[in-house]
Homo-oligomer: A and B are copies of this chain.
């Protein structure tokens, strides 16, 4: 995966510096999207907050990361679909945590068909979709 990212960044004249590698490593080891604050807790002072924010937006612009806008206005980032596969989100209404979930191919095809159908009926060109399922996670249940 490191390789894929290296290639992608090189194409765009963006350097894959050590700070950025820390960010990617932290996200690669996560079960779901992470906020800048959470990443900073995990990475520590090796990447100061201001640099962390900058790295996140650079990596987002390069298509390596994708933002997810969660409860209370917190932005969380995760690796883009082409790096970790398409998936959906389970959002806990109590603690706000977000977990990834991948659907079996058959289900995913149903969702995709639905989205295409909708696009065909309204003045809107669909690019991507996420099924956001709100509920209570195992810890808060």
Q: Which residues of A contact B (CB under 8 A)?
A: 67, 69-75, 88, 90, 93, 99, 101, 103, 107, 110-111, 114-115, 117-119, 122-138, 141
Contacts and interface: CB of A to CB of B under 8 A. Distances in A.
The oligomer's copy count stands at: 2
A117 B104 CA distance: 11
B134 A131 contact: no
Contact of A101 (B70, B75, B122, B141): B122
Contacts of A131: 111, 114-115, 129-132
Nearest to A119: B135
Given A101-B122, A124-B90, A129 B132 contact: yes
Contact of A127 (B71, B118, B130, B134): B134
